[in-house]
Amino acid sequence: MNARIMFVIAILIGFAAGMPTTHGYQAPEKLVDKVRVSIDKGIQYLRDMEKGKGNWELDAESNIRKGGWTSLAMLSLLNCGVPPEDEMMKRGLEYLRGIPPAQTYTVGLQTMVYCLAKQPQDRDRIQRNVDWLKSAKLKDGWSYGERAFGSADNSNTQYALLGLHEAFVAGANVDRKILEEVRSYFIKTQVPKDGGWTYRGGGLTTMTMTTAGLSNLLITGADLEVGRQKLRDDGVAELCGIYEENKAVADALRWVGNNFPAKLTVERARAAFQHPYYGLYGIERVGRLTGNRFIGGHDWYRLGCEFFVETQKADGRWDGEGRQFDHWPVVATSFSLLFLSKGRTPVLMTKLAYNRGDDWNNKRSDCKNLVAFVSKELFKGQPMAWQIFDSRTKPAEQEDQVKELAAELLQSPVTYFNGHNRAPTG
C-alpha cells in the first residue's frame, strides 16, 4: 500500500456515512437496468409456472427428488426479495412442510428456505433436517439419500453443507465433528497438481466440483471458527490468522481464477462449466463467501450478468442443453436468479487487501460478522454485503489512477483494513 492509496482512503472517510450504496459488483448503468428487467422477468416466469398450486414439480423428472425444484425456486425467489408473506410463497412453504427428509439435495435446499423465510413454526423442521443430515452422512460426505444409496460425492455434499451452514447461522444445533470431518476430507482429496476437485475421487478436475470443494472449505472454516479464538493474558488472540485450510483455499482460488473465462459466451461457458447456470451459481458462492469482487482478474459478477441477460428467453426463463441442471427451465431459471439477485444487495463495507502475504486478512470473518450484525441491529434485517478490494493490483501513481481508485472504493460507504504489522505509507 503506498501513500497515494492511503490518501484515497483518507478522502473516503469523509464520505463514509448514510445508507450503503448499491452493490459494488454492479456494472455500467445500462447493464444494471437490464439485470433488473431480467430478474423481474425471471420472477414472473416462476410465478407462471407455480400456477397457484404451491410447487414447481412439473413432471416425472422433478418428482424423482420431490420438493427439490420447489425448494430451489423458493430459495431464488426469497433471494430476489419476494417476501414469505406473498401468497405464492405461503403456498410453497406449506407444500415443503409436507415433505419429510429423504434426499440430500432436497433436504439441504429445504433447510435453506426455512432459514431464509424465518418463520417461527419451521424452527423444529430446521433441527429435524439437521439431525437427518447427520444420520445420512457417510464417511466422506453425503450421497443422494440414506446410507444405503452408496458412496459420497462432492455435489451432494456441498448442498448438505449449505443447508447445515444456514441452520448453524439460524441457531440450530450442528455437530462440530461433522464439520471437522468434512473439512479434513476436502483438504485430503484436493488434487495436488492443480488445487481442484473431482466429483468423487479420480477423474478430471472440474470447475463445478472445484467451486463446490472451495465453498465447502470456506463454510466449514467459518463455522468452526465460531468460539475457537481465546485471548492470551496480553490481550492477543492465540490463534489469530491461523486457519487449517488456508493453503487449500489459496490453491483452489488460483485454479478457479486460472480457468474462469474472460468472456462468457454460451460456448465458452459450456466449455468451462458443462452446465453454465448451475456452474455460475458455484462462482457466485465463491465470490460471496470470499468477498472477492474479482476472480482471476475478472469481474465475475459483471461477466455473469452479461451472460444471463444475453441468454434469457423472451418468456423470462433460462434453459440449456443436456439432461441435467440446465436442461430444466425451472432449475436453470432458479440458478440464474440466485446469481443475479446478489446485485440487489447493498455493499456496506470494503475490506482492503494490501502488501504481500495474508497479514491483511488475519481475521477472515471480521467484515462478514460485522456486516451481519449491522444488518440485523441497525437496518431491520435488510441484507447487506461486503467485498474485498485488492489494492495490490491497482496502480495509483497518476492523478487519474487515484480518481479511479476513489470511484471504486466509493461504491461502499466504509473502507476498512487491519493487520498485525504496521501498514506502510510510502
Q: With 0-12 CB in 10 A as exposed, 13-18 as middle and 19+ as buried, what is 207? A: buried
Percentage with pLDDT > 90 across the chain: 55
Question: Domain segments of the chain: what residues?
Answer: 1-21+346-426, 27-227+240-344
- β-sheet bridge partners, residue 352: 389
pLDDT at res. 148: 54
pLDDT band at residue 368 under the 50/70/90 scheme: confident
Gap between the Cα atoms of 72 and 51, Å rounded = 17
pLDDT value, residue 18: 47
Would you state the pLDDT for residue 193? 92
pLDDT range class, residue 376, cuts 50, 70, 90: confident
Place of cell 416466469: 45
Alpha-carbon Rg for the chain, nearest whole angstrom, is 21
What is the rounded average pLDDT of the residues 362-367?
A: 80
Give the integer Cα–Cα distance in Å for 35 and 418. 35
Mean pLDDT of the chain: 86
Which amino acid belongs to residue 66? Answer: K
In three-state secondary structure terms, 231 is strand
DSSP states of 237-296 as a string? BTTTT--TTHHHHHHHHHHHHHHS-SS--HHHHHHHHSSHHHHHHHHHHHHHHH-BSEET
pLDDT tens figures, 261-319 = 999 998 999 899 989 999 999 999 999 999 998 898 899 999 999 999 999 999 999 99
Question: How sure is the predictor about 11, in pLDDT bands with cuts at 50, 70 and 90?
Answer: very low
Domain 27-227+240-344 has CATH 1.10.287.3510: no
pLDDT of res. 362: 78
Task: Show Cβ contacts of residue 176 under 8 Å, excluding neighbours closer than 6 positions.
Answer: 223, 224
Show contacts of 259-266: CB within 8 Å, 24+ apart.
259/207, 259/210, 259/296, 260/207, 260/295, 260/296, 260/298, 260/300, 261/298, 261/303, 262/298, 262/303, 263/303, 264/303, 264/304, 264/306, 264/307, 265/307, 266/307, 266/311
pLDDT of residue 391: 74
Backbone angles phi, psi at 414, to 5 degrees: -130, 125
Helix (H, G, I), strand (E, B) or coil at 153: strand
- Return the pLDDT at 128: 99
More confident residue, 395 or 192: 192
Dump pLDDT digits (tens) for 46-102.
999 999 999 999 877 777 789 999 999 999 999 999 999 999 999 999 999 999 999
How far apart CA 230 and CA 239 sit, in angstroms, is 7
What is the average pLDDT across 4-24? Answer: 46
pLDDT of residue 155: 92
Q: Report the pLDDT averaged over residues 165-181.
A: 96
Summarised one tens digit per residue, pLDDT across range 136-160 is: 999 889 999 876 557 899 999 999 9
Give the residue-averaged pLDDT of 196-223. Answer: 92
- pLDDT(365) > 90: no
Tens of pLDDT, residue by residue over 405-419, are: 777 777 788 888 888
Checking if the pLDDT of 5 tops 70, the result is: no
Euclidean distance between CA atoms 270 and 261, whole angstroms: 10
Question: Please, what's the largest Cα pairwise distance for the chain?
Answer: 65
**pLDDT at 7 > cutoff 50:** no
The band of 342, judged by pLDDT with boundaries at 50, 70 and 90, is confident
Reported confidence tier of residue 42, pLDDT bands at 50, 70, 90? very high
